Amino acid sequence: MKHTRPKGTRDFLPPESARKQRAEAVFRRCAELYGFQEAVTPTFEHTEVFVKSSGVTSDVVTKEMYTFKDRSERELTLRPEGTPGLVRAILENGLRIPCRLYYVGPMFRYNRPQKGRYREFYQLGVESFGEAGPEVDAEVIALGAEFFGALGIRDCETQVNSIGCRACRPQYHEQLKRFLTERSSELCPECRTRMEQNPLRTFDCKNETCQAILGNAPKPKDNLCSACAEHFQAVLAALRARDVKFALNDRMVRGLDYYSRTAFEYISRTIGAQDSLGGGGRYDYLVEDFGGPATPAVGFALGEERALLAAEQSDKPVVSRRLVFVIAMSDGERAAAGELLAELRKAGVPAQMDYDHRKPKAQFRSADNAGAQYCAILGERELAQGLVSLKDLTTGEQQELKRTELLARLAGQQMADSR
């Protein structure tokens, strides 16, 4: 029987796994430069954690959650996003606020798989808890843009909007609802429901007629209270001061229910229909809604697969791990080869050898299969003279080096690569 992976999942194998690892390393470095520290939370939570936060009117909660009962009848859900679990974790563990956390890990959404959209996908996210200033919004937005830049992604547009707060939104919702009600016969059935439950969600609709109608609808950013308007202008000024290029998008409201004030998204022009490389915003009420103290918060999550897709054209070549394959020309050199292998590893150089007593030719083949850059060859003559022949498999060049010289050179290269 042949086994296949479940629909919407993928395997990351070499060399793609090395690209993934590199993207995560770049992300960790960027996030840590801005003072974020890693948080690891479970991949599943009690279902209500998501229902309470992502929102009962969001597509994520209504259509996309992997929800199940465990053997003790607990209602659990594979996390569709990272934010709610982090809010739960800071409160449950009594973390001191303000705090800045980042995360890297798989998320799960039951949606229709297509290019850039999976049922299991990886997010790279940051969340700042307890910082209210508009400079923080700008800093978080800048961090995401910096990450894409570091990956060599040039065609990414940062879109920004403000969707107001609990003071100004109810009035705006009423206004939008009135506008939509007058045109309800032209709206798609789903938007008619959205209009009743959460009119803001109609902006997410892909239907062309709905989109055309919404083109003339009152926009959140034109209906902000003075505090929200001031905050938004300060975010934009801080972005300009940081030289972050952005575009205003007054129809972007984000698909989750917890946002307030700043909303932003990173849009790619080259990866196809699923063009959102990442998104985020402020969510100043979520911690309180979870039973915690009033805590302003802002963050984002970036789609790792989409970032890798966008980086494909501009990818700086992934530095191979400079694997060295130690080759014993005959059984007489095997013990010495084993010692050299241990010395290489001790010096921080990835190394491997054959233990199946294969002929030299087969060992060279194994080195190639393993993706080694070098073969360190030990024959009878090399052994007698305290030498090693080093063959670079990428250029075909071969030279004889003293053992100590070989170790110093390869360890030096390894250090330079990891910088």
Give min distance, CB of 18 to ligand HAM, in A: 20
Residue 263: count other Cβ atoms within 10 Å of its Cβ: 24
- Rule CB under 6 A: say whether 36 interacts with ligand HAM: no
What residues from 99 to 128 belong to the interface with ligand HAM (CB under 6 A)?
109, 111, 116-118, 121, 123, 125, 127
Q: By rule CB under 6 A, what string of x and - marks binding of each residue 360-389 to ligand HAM?
A: ------------------------------
Whether residue 98 has a cis bond before it, omega within 30° of 0: yes
Give min distance, CB of 87 to ligand HAM, in A: 10
Give min distance, CB of 47 to ligand HAM, in A: 17
- Out of 158, 276, 295, 366, point to the residue binding ligand HAM (CB under 6 A): 276
- Rule CB under 6 A: say whether 130 interacts with ligand HAM: no
Closer CB to ligand HAM, 110 or 179, in the complex: 110
Q: Which stretch binds ligand HAM (CB under 6 A): 70-78, 175-183, 204-212, 270-278?
A: 270-278
- Rule CB under 6 A: say whether 280 interacts with ligand HAM: yes
- Rule CB under 6 A: say whether 134 interacts with ligand HAM: no
Closer CB to ligand HAM, 198 or 276, in the complex: 276
* Cβ atoms of residues 116 and 311 within 8 Å: no
Give min distance, CB of 364 to ligand HAM, in A: 40
- Out of 31, 145, 214, 301, point to the residue binding ligand HAM (CB under 6 A): 301
Closer CB to ligand HAM, 82 or 213, in the complex: 82
What residues from 52 to 81 belong to the interface with ligand HAM (CB under 6 A)?
81
Residue nearest to ligand HAM (CB): 303
- Rule CB under 6 A: say whether 144 interacts with ligand HAM: no
Closer CB to ligand HAM, 144 or 199, in the complex: 144
Give min distance, CB of 280 to ligand HAM, in A: 4
Contact positions toward ligand HAM, by CB under 6 A? Answer: 81-83, 109, 111, 116-118, 121, 123, 125, 127, 255-256, 276-281, 283, 299-301, 303, 305-306
